[in-house]
Amino acid sequence: AKKLGRNNFQFYTPAMNEESLERVRIEGALRNALERDEFVLYYQPQLDIKTGKVVGMEALLRWQHPELGMVPPGRFISIAEETGLIVPIGAWVMRTACAQNKAWQDAGFDKLRVAVNLSARQFGAPDLIEGLEAVLKDTGMEPKYLEIELTESLFMSDITPAVDLLHRMKALGVSLSIDDFGTGYSSLSYLSRFPIDVLKIDRSFVADITRDANDEAIVTSIIALAHNLKLAVIAEGVETAEQLDYLRRHGCDEMQGYYFSRPLANAQFEQLLREGRGL
């Protein structure tokens, strides 16, 4: 038999065992999380950089498990995707986000947009369009206030069915954005063929705009690209006044990030609306 190098034994380290154990534990708990009502949505404000006003929010999933505590999306979203659990969980997110946004509108606050993340598994599910239609109808949410965040990974394989699906989503009246723009591997050609409304600049580029000339070049290029294609552009992960100032000077339309606010629980978001706080 061929002699194996020491690196071939890396799968058997105790750390790996613990990692897969934790995975199994999370996967098991995740199967019951919906029916046990353990999920909650947080909302992170999105602001118009010119007017300084809150114009929207991104719904972000949180999982409060009785023993594991608050489990961050980084630890369970990929497991939910691999197991397909993201499909029912994502449907719950869509319905809850729309219902909450409509409730705030009905309470008399300025009408805001709510952005919801859609995973590739949901995009491929057979009843996506029917599901969206049902949520809009049941919650009474006007479709123009719903924005669906997609990632470039959706467009990597065979793009023809994707184009068709995007057009059917657009036909419902919702808007579509590309999340984490610039981090995927797909070609830019889809931008001219797909009915996209918004590009979201990934926070990895925003993080160093005031220090790294390459990231500056990427961010200003994305803003120019978006505007040339008549798309709006939003920067995520804005943490400092310097970053915001840079984005403002370069004509970025909207911002989202800890500089203004972290994702907030319902009550805190409502408090923000009541105070009418802005940039």
Binding site for ligand C2E (CB under 6 A): 44, 60-61, 72-74, 77, 86, 90, 93, 117, 119, 179-180, 203, 236-239, 257-258, 263
Residues in a beta bridge with 117: 149
SS3 content of the chain, % helix, strand, coil (to 5): 50, 20, 30
Q: Which of 189, 272 has the CB closer to ligand C2E?
A: 272
Residue with tokens 């790294």: 212
Out of 152, 179, 253, 254, the only residue in the binding site for Ca ion (CB under 5 A) is: 179
Query: Which CB atom, from 102 or from 200, has the smaller least distance to Ca ion?
Result: 200
Query: Nearest 5°: phi and psi at 99?
Result: -60, -45
To Ca ion, the closest distance from the beta carbon of 36 in angstroms equals 25
| Least Å from the CB of residue 180 to ligand C2E | 6
Given Ca ion, ligand C2E, none, residue 93, with its beta carbon under 5 to 8 Å by kind, binds: ligand C2E
Length of the chain: 279
| Cα distance between residue 204 and residue 182, in whole Å | 10
CA-based R_g, the chain, Å: 20
Contact region with Ca ion (CB under 5 A), list: 6-14, 135-143, 144-152, 253-261: 144-152
CB of 125 to ligand C2E, least distance (A): 12
Q: Which does 119 bind (CB under 5 to 8 A by kind): ligand C2E, Ca ion, none?
A: ligand C2E
What stretches of 118-212 adopt beta strand conformation (E)? 146-151, 175-181, 198-201
Closest contact distance (angstroms) between CB of 261 and ligand C2E is 9
The yes or no reply on residue 117 touching Ca ion (CB under 5 A) is yes
- Taking the alpha carbons at both ends of the chain, their separation in whole angstroms is 67
Instruction: Assign 2 to helix, strand or coil.
Output: coil
Provide the β-strand partners of residue 195: none
Q: How far is the CB of 121 from Ca ion (least distance, A)?
A: 15
Chain contacts with Ca ion (rule: CB under 5 A): 117, 149, 179-180
